[in-house]
Amino acid sequence: MTTSSRTDWMNHPELRRLVDDSNRLTLAERVTLVKGLIPGIADEQTAEQFAAFVEEMRLKGNRFNEAKSHPGEGRATRSVPGERDIESR
């Protein structure tokens, strides 16, 4: 979980606690939790915003897998764009 000027207003300690607690669940429970959150997220977004959210999640997973498979190489050597690249920061 990263921070940026777009997320300064969030309660990061509470979000971190929720993430840490969720990560204690089994994989199946975490997948079910994410699936349970999707309708509420989709309901508060336009179709275009939701498509961008889904793409952001896809990139997040790809970026993590790429970093995991190339430990210690740094982000400059990776091909999957990260949040900093997308947000131009």
pLDDT tens, 14-71? 999 999 999 999 999 999 999 999 999 999 999 999 999 999 999 889 888 888 887 8
Question: For tokens 């210690």, what's the residue?
Answer: 72
Find the length of the chain: 89
Per the confidence metrics, is the pTM higher than 0.85?
Answer: no
Structure tokens at 73: 């190489």
Q: Which residues contact 52 (CB under 8 A, 6 or more apart)?
A: none
Q: How many CB atoms lie within 10 A of CB 29?
A: 11
What are the residue ranges spanned by the domains of the chain?
10-44, 46-89
Q: Which residues contact 23 (CB under 8 A, 6 or more apart)?
A: 30
The one-letter amino acid at 47: A
